[in-house]
Structure 1
């Protein structure tokens, strides 16, 4: 019960805005269990230095840990690190859930990698973790924009006008 009590205290400190009290618990001998670690990670989500430090020090992260790190790196525009965390999650045989895809796909789209975004959408569907329609729409819009459908249609039309009728 001590682990969950420690996590409750840490969560309470975080909710009261007493960040230093929560951070000092580890210094005072509270060894962070995975539950405590995840509570800290989620609570200090806006503290870039601490999230990076916590992310590098967890021994055996779980799905929640990976999701928070993917979301954090994605929100901070660090797609390479978000993808690395995702790859490590898969290597650790942790199965992604809908939140994993909802966190990673927008980051991938923002960086313009719509091929990867489509692959992730397909993976989510394949694993029965359906992403929201809004996420799918962003991917589809990006794929259409990336392929420059209108521009290609105009080029085709101009070429067709220039071709002799026998070639058509």
Structure 2
């Protein structure tokens, strides 16, 4: 393989990692927005239900009581926020950059630029595939956060109508 092909391979693989990093940043921004929507929905409906006292609200949360509306509101709100937090604080590791010390060490060992670029391209491809799994999980968590956020609306309506 020529040095030019190795360089091209490296540039393509590096740009994929840069794009993934930007995607993760955007997903986290969307999760912040989703958490804000969740809070806004809760605030609007809570202000509509100002006649609800804490005692009347908590009496509807128990599992053995007649209604499930209060529990439904609390669960949809809490779970939506939890899924947003999972997006913003991804527990799984993503790798977007290379180890500079490894590159310098390989150079000191006498490896050619071509060999180093080829290995970096292979590493970037591996990182890309690992990151994709994390991004897919992050997208799923964002989806659940949004769905549960909007599920608050019927939950609040049921609570306010009872």
Question: Fold conserved (TM > 0.5)?
Answer: no
| Higher fraction of helix | 2
TM-score interval w.r.t. the shorter chain? under 0.3
**What TM-score comes out, normalization by structure 1 length?**
0.25
**What TM-score comes out, normalization by structure 2 length?**
0.26
Q: RCO higher in 1 or 2 (8 Å CA, sep ≥ 6)?
A: 2
Query: Is the radius of gyration larger for structure 1 or structure 2?
Result: 2
